[in-house]
């Protein structure tokens, strides 16, 4: 998975008229990856993950 910055860079370079092959060389990713991100037409939206509750409750295990 690419970073958000790389995904946006792919969109910008494509709008500037660069070929998929040129974009893939510049970013160091495969042509198929560039095609995939161009087909999406949107930048990826990352969601925050809810923090997990620890199994080791500090009250139950004060010696840890």
Instruction: Give me the phi and psi of 10, to 5 degrees please.
Output: -60, -45
Between 41 and 12, residue with greater pLDDT: 12
Q: Is there a domain that residue 14 lies in?
A: yes
pTM of the model: 0.66
Q: Answer yes or no: is 23 within a domain.
A: yes
Eight-state DSSP code of residue 43? -
Examine residue 63 and state whether it is found in any structural domain, yes or no.
no
The answer to whether residue 46 is domain-embedded is no
Output DSSP code: residue 42: S
Whole-angstrom distance, CA of residue 56 vs CA of residue 47: 26
Give the domain range for residue 26. Answer: 4-40
Report yes or no on 51 lying in a domain.
no
Structure confidence by residue, pLDDT tens digits, 18-43: 999 999 999 999 999 999 999 987 76
pLDDT score recorded for residue 51: 79
* Residue 9 placed within a domain: yes
The C-alpha atoms of residue 21 and residue 30 are separated, in whole angstroms, by 8
């Amino acid at each position: 998975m690419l970073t958000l910055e790389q995904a946006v860079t792919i969109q910008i370079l494509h709008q500037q008229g660069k070929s998929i092959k040129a974009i893939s060389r510049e970013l160091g990713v495969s042509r198929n990856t560039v095609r995939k991100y161009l087909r999406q037409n949107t930048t990826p939206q990352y969601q925050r993950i809810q923090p997990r509750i620890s199994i080791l409750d500090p009250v139950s295990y004060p010696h840890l």
